[in-house]
Amino acid sequence: MLSAHGAELLPDVPPGAQALTLQGDALYPAAPNAETQANLEVAQNNYNSDRDNADNIIWLGRRTAYAGDYRRAIEIYSEGINKFPEDPRFYRHRGHRYISIREFDRAIADFEQAAELMEELPIQVEPDGLPNAQNIPLTTTQGNVWYHLGLAYYLKQDWPRALAAFRNGYNLGGYDDNLVSTGHWIYMILRRMGDDAQAAVALNEISADMDIIENMSYHELCLLYKGEMEIEEMMAANGDDPSNAAVAYGIANYFYYNGDRQRSDDMLRRLVSGSSWSSFGFIAAEADLANPQR
């Protein structure tokens, strides 16, 4: 049950489901692997030992979400908001999981609240729940708030607000990984707005020799947009893992921008037939397919 700041109960779903697609189909989580389950148990034990520790609440929420229970994670973050209403991290993480269950307006409200709360705070590195190969956290709380706010507006196809949020994140700088992930969305938004010239300018800082640690998919897409990579060179594009879903969605948009609507729609439908339903590329494909006037 959600009570933080007057939040209403989440929409009803069939037993065992987490959410409904934008087309109304039930979405069910995969069983977590042993490592994910073990990490969740550690987080639960830490929370049980001190239920008023903000970090313990956040990590219990994150580990619960990694195990596929987004609705329970939202409840945990709501508890954190009740206890720590001035901490933007709870709104950042709850907003992310509202996106996962297709509650875009609630996500936007959370990210807008987080943006207001973090205005006077120093930049804060966000620990990785799923560390990359170099074990280097690449993002910040501030960057993640702007990124996810931009995504939520994108999913509602509110291009001007999506663009403003992503640009706020891009302007924070950071690792090359941050520039390619954010630059990718900025480019796509500008193309959707019909501003091809500014879309090209948005990629000026992106090059083939960047030091990319984990966002190879977004880097390749940006190089595709710049004409420095061929579609045939891209990794396998399908909807069965988050990286491939991102590539598939980017390529589908590439076809759309360049006048091949049929091929774009075919790729979107193939993407949403995959299993990675909480990935951003998958959700964005749903949003496009739900809007036949796009």
Distance CA 55, CA 33 (A): 24
26-27 and 19-20 beta bridge pairing:
antiparallel
Q: What is the pLDDT of residues 204-258, one digit of tens each?
A: 999 999 999 999 999 999 999 999 998 877 755 544 555 588 889 999 999 998 8
Token pair in block for residue 208? 């083939």
pLDDT reported for residue 2: 45
pLDDT reported for residue 8: 58
Element of type H or E holding 20: strand 19-20
For residue 186, give the nearest of 162, 212, 210, 206 by alpha carbon: 162
Question: For residue 140, what is the DSSP state?
Answer: B
Low-confidence ranges of the chain (pLDDT < 50): 1-7, 238-239
pLDDT reported for residue 243: 59
Distance CA 218, CA 182 (A): 9
Q: Which residues are CB-contacts of 207 (< 8 A; sequence separation ≥ 6)?
A: none
Q: What is the pLDDT of residues 99-129, one digit of tens each?
A: 999 999 999 999 999 999 999 899 999 998 8
Question: For residue 37, what is the DSSP state?
Answer: H
Distance CA 217, CA 237 (A): 10
pLDDT reported for residue 1: 41
Please give the domain boundaries of the chain with CATH numbers for all domains. 1-121 (1.25.40.10)
